[in-house]
Amino acid sequence: MGPGHPERPERLRAIERGLDQTRFAPLTRMSAPLAESEALQRVHPQSYLAALEQAAPREGYSALDCDTLMCPKTIEAVWRAAGGAISAVDEVMSGRADNAFVAARPPGHHAGAHNPMGFCFVNNVAVAARHAQAAHGAERVAIVDFDVHHGNGTQEIFWADETVLFCSTHQAPFYPGTGGRNETGAHGNVVNAPLLAGSTGDAFKEAMADRILPRLRDFAPDLILISAGFDAHERDPLGGLRLREVDFYDATKRLMDIADKRCGGRIVSMLEGGYDVDALSRCVNSHVLALLGVQEAGA
């Protein structure tokens, strides 16, 4: 994204260092393949994907909006981030993996079907949901987004689709300005639980317990996808919420409980935001420990 940009390569390096610890030795690790264009086209029109490729510079940077930039390698990264999400869905839906976390960038939840936005180009979680339906016969897919920013792109893509439940906790009022409680989707399939700036883990837990988890249980999804942004952490330079590692651990366990009861434990989580690299690494460790079924001290 260019010098000084918060969505930077160090984010993934910090996550990789964290997951190098011996307690993560049981993880099966796979590299992310490039997404097939057929899979991307379930969400984005070919004309948009071609325009993205056209927009990539041969050298230096090109800006698609004031904070979404491309370098010559961006397209490969975008295709791999979506490819990782697709491959994780394949592993989990086929039963080869119990669940999966996709550590990839750029993030995706602000990207609409026709537009890049907010560091996002292709909506990875939307591509994953459509792939689960088209390639694995999933009838209902639930997406839970706990990034500090509202997943406006994901909401827009599935607004009128009763086969996908989109649930989000996020800071509001805040970027990108959407995500009010009154935004409920064409079929009541959107659930927004906005949190005021300064909210702590208690408010987050309550929003999950009161608004999101009951809807998730009732929806009885065949797969739960997580838009796992960790920029609601108290140390994040962009977000204004005050969550701690244990809050992400706890939320992950609650989602796993529902997944165990409703869909054979099937969860695919993918990285969205998180811009304090040390906090990001610790949050991912907690999230992945929960997914691994490890009891964390203090949780």
The residue ranges that bind Zn ion (CB under 5 A) are 147, 149, 229, 231, 273
Question: Closer CB to Zn ion, residue 145 or residue 250?
Answer: 145
Contact 42, 131 (CB under 8 A): yes
User: Which residue in 44, 109, 110, 150 is the catalytic one?
Assistant: 110
Q: Which residue is nearest to Zn ion (CB)?
A: 273
**Minimum distance of Zn ion from residue 272's CB (angstroms):** 6
What stretch of H or E contains 57?
Answer: none
**Minimum distance of Zn ion from residue 157's CB (angstroms):** 17
- The amino acid at 79: W
| CA distances to 118, 152, 156, 272 from 160, in Å | 23, 14, 8, 23
Contact 97, 74 (CB under 8 A): no
Contact 142, 55 (CB under 8 A): no
* DSSP summary character for residue 276: S
**Minimum distance of Zn ion from residue 147's CB (angstroms):** 4
**Minimum distance of Zn ion from residue 108's CB (angstroms):** 11
Question: Closer CB to Zn ion, residue 116 or residue 229?
Answer: 229
Q: What is the DSSP string of 245-257?
A: HHHHHHHHHHHHH
Question: Closer CB to Zn ion, residue 201 or residue 239?
Answer: 239
- In angstroms, the CA 130 to CA 152 distance is 17
Tell me, yes or no, if 110 is annotated catalytic. yes
Question: Closer CB to Zn ion, residue 170 or residue 282?
Answer: 170
Neighbouring CB atoms inside 10 A of 136's CB total 16
**What are the beta bridge partners of residue 44?**
none
**Minimum distance of Zn ion from residue 181's CB (angstroms):** 19
Question: Closer CB to Zn ion, residue 18 or residue 273?
Answer: 273
Contact 167, 216 (CB under 8 A): yes
Question: What residues act catalytically?
Answer: 110
